[in-house]
Amino acid sequence: MPTVAPFDLAGHCVAAAFLDDIPHFALADGTIHRLDHGAKSVVAHDGLLCAAITWDGMALVTGGEDGKVALTRPDGGTETLAEVPRKWVTSVATGPQGAVAYASGRTAFVRFADGKVKSFDHPRSVEGVAFAPKGMRIAVARYNGATLHFPAAEGKPAELEWAGAHNGITFSPDGNFLVTTMQENALHGWKLADGKHMRMTGYPAKVKSWSWSAKGKWLATSGAPAAIVWPFSAKDGPMGKAPVELGTRGNTMVTSVACHPRDEIVAIGYADGMILAGRIADLKEVVLRRGGKSAVTSMAWDAAGIRLAFGSEEGECGVVDISA
């Protein structure tokens, strides 16, 4: 039986994450809490909007209402990497060699490990940024499509067009596909080799959480009464294929998903605070948390895939241990 160790905080949890195997909870007020032999915390921002874990899993990069991009380590040390005065930093992403991308208004920035910053202006707002899994390349989600930049080189960006407002953005772990969440209740994708489009529609709500499975064979998403899990193992990704619906419930919505680091299992968090684990192969489900006062907003597995950190809209956070 899984056991839940609750960790009640006050405020919206933007991100739950394991840094060096220590569970961290980044709250919207700017405080980053951690459970490291007792509850500890550090204030990283006045208002925290977005977060991404570094590729080595040893730090959390966050963007805030205070215009700062901060990096926080599991020892509680926090430093400001960059600042955009009087603007909100609304999206952050982490990349290779300690690079960080962030967005504010109509500009995307890439900060290299040596502190050098390169900026990319766009005609419309940068809604999301993501690094490609290989090479120094970023993708920007914008109105009517996505833009690809090579920050380490000069040259023209590559534009991918699709009408509508694109909000979130992610590369598939093999680098073959680029996927966006849209203002409409849909995902859009491009096969990067030939620019072929993928439309993933049918959601009753906006997709706000997604997670690639181990080896990138599946993309699990929120936005429906079940986790909608798209197959990406075929040459053309999910084109012409139906998604797997995992953990279907009749009366509530999936608000957060997190794929297990090794097995094809998805942790599914719901609007009523419940968390299930569902296996893609046979659709078997296990209850990890019965429910709570508010929607699950973020979840993350530890490296071993034994503990799941979760956070919610009203600050009910905690860690589920599935080994017991």
106 binds another protein, rule: CB under 8 A: yes
Environment class of 166 (CB within 10 Å of its CB; exposed 0-12, middle 13-18, buried 19+): buried
Q: Does 65 bind another protein (CB under 8 A)?
A: yes
Distance CA 30, CA 66 (A): 9
Smallest gap, in angstroms, from Cβ of residue 130 to another protein? 17
Q: Which of 286, 285, 287, 251 lies closest to 271 in space, CA to CA?
A: 251
Rounded Cα gap, residues 230 and 236, in angstroms? 12
Backbone angles phi, psi at 63, to 5 degrees: -120, 150
Q: Given the rule CB under 8 A, which of 11-19, 68-76, 108-116, 278-286 is the region that contacts another protein?
A: 11-19
> In the complex, what is the shortest distance from the CB of residue 28 to another protein, in angstroms, rounded to a whole number?
4
Torsion sign, CA atoms 45, 51, 54, 58: positive
Q: Is 197 in the site for another protein (CB under 8 A)?
A: no
Contacts of 138 (CB under 8 A, 6+ apart): 93, 95, 101, 108, 110, 129, 130, 131, 132, 148, 149, 151
How far is the C-alpha of 321 from the C-alpha of 83, rounded, in Å? 38
Among 71, 207, 271, 320, the residue binding another protein under the rule CB under 8 A is 271
Distance (Å, whole) CA 272 – CA 316: 12
Q: Are strands 285-289 and 22-27 parallel, antiparallel or unpaired?
A: unpaired
143 binds another protein (CB under 8 A): yes
φ, ψ at 76 (rounded to 5°): 95, -5
Map residue 279 onto helix, strand or coil.
strand
Binder among 29, 236, 263, 285 for another protein (CB under 8 A): 29
Residue type, 252: T
The residue (of 302 and 313) whose beta carbon lies closer to another protein is: 313
How many Å apart are CA 259 and CA 124, to the nearest integer?
32
Q: Which stretch binds another protein (CB under 8 A): 32-40, 129-137, 157-165, 301-309?
A: 157-165
Site string (226-265) toward another protein, x via CB under 8 A: --------------------------xx------------
Applying CB under 8 A, does 178 fall inside the site for another protein?
Answer: no
- With tokens 């960006």, the residue in question is 157
Among 74, 225, 273, 311, binds another protein (CB under 8 A): 225
| Rounded distance between C-alpha atoms, residue 52 and residue 15, angstroms | 8
| Stretch near another protein under the rule CB under 8 A, chosen from 15-23, 36-44, 161-169, 283-291 | 161-169
Q: Judged by CB under 8 A, does residue 206 bind another protein?
A: yes
User: Whose Cβ is closer to another protein: residue 132's or residue 268's?
Assistant: 268
Residue 37 touching another protein (CB under 8 A): no
Question: 128 or 243, CB closer to another protein?
Answer: 128
How many chain residues touch another protein (CB under 8 A)?
A: 35
CB 240, min distance to another protein, A: 21
Residues that bind another protein (CB under 8 A): 11-12, 14, 28-29, 46-47, 49, 65, 86-88, 90, 105-106, 124-125, 127, 143, 163-165, 182-184, 186, 204-206, 225, 252-253, 271-272, 294
